[in-house]
Amino acid sequence: LVSLYLDYGHIWYPLVFALKGLMIVAAWFLLGAPAAWAVPAVLFVNMVYSFGLKGVPIIDVAWCGVWGACYAAIAAPSPYLLILVGLMTAICHLFQALGDATTDAANRITTTAVFSRPISAVVLFVLSALIFSMLQGPLGTGIALTAFFAVGFFFLFTRSQWAWLATKAYFAMMWL
């Protein structure tokens, strides 16, 4: 499939862009104007990440948080939830990047995870602290402190994939 894509890019690229346009039109008719504006935002943020920001430490994680917020905007939740989803997406992305660090380093892509594991821990702590600050008011300090579970998982699990799965399970419980 990749070989076909590379050999016949002149056919695939216009097709992909046409399909993206179709997605925007479908969102407009099926979900309304706000969703129709969110879809190209998701596509744009993803493209900027893929072609430029994936290899920029710290910004790569933050930008993926923007992607998560844009994606959530398709369903038009409140700005509070958009920010919360963005922070959760950034944390999940950091764990994914930690799992890909060896491959990214071999391909000379300097993600946050490749740049520095200690910096990754600091970024994770800051993101968790932001989630804590958002949860403290509506849920109280005790429940808000669970926002730091991701930091605990970072140090508890030797494989980042397990920390990522545990964090996703925690986020799922928070949504319930």
Task: Tell me the per-residue pLDDT of 19-40, one tens digit each, with 9 for 90 and over.
Answer: 988 988 998 999 888 888 888 8
Specify the pLDDT at position 6: 77
**What is the per-residue DSSP string for the chain?**
-HHHHHHTHHHHHHHHHHHHHHHHHHHHHHH-HHHHHHHHHHHHHHHHIIIIITTSTTHHHHHHHHHHHHHHHTT---HHHHHHHHHHHHHHHHHHHHHTHHHHHHTT---HHHH-HHHHHHHHHHHHHHHHHHHHHHH-HHHHGGGGHHHHHHHH-SSHHHHHHHHHHHHHHHH-
Give the predicted TM-score (pTM) of the model: 0.85
User: Is residue 156 over pLDDT 80?
Assistant: yes
Confidence category of residue 77, pLDDT binned at 50, 70, 90? confident
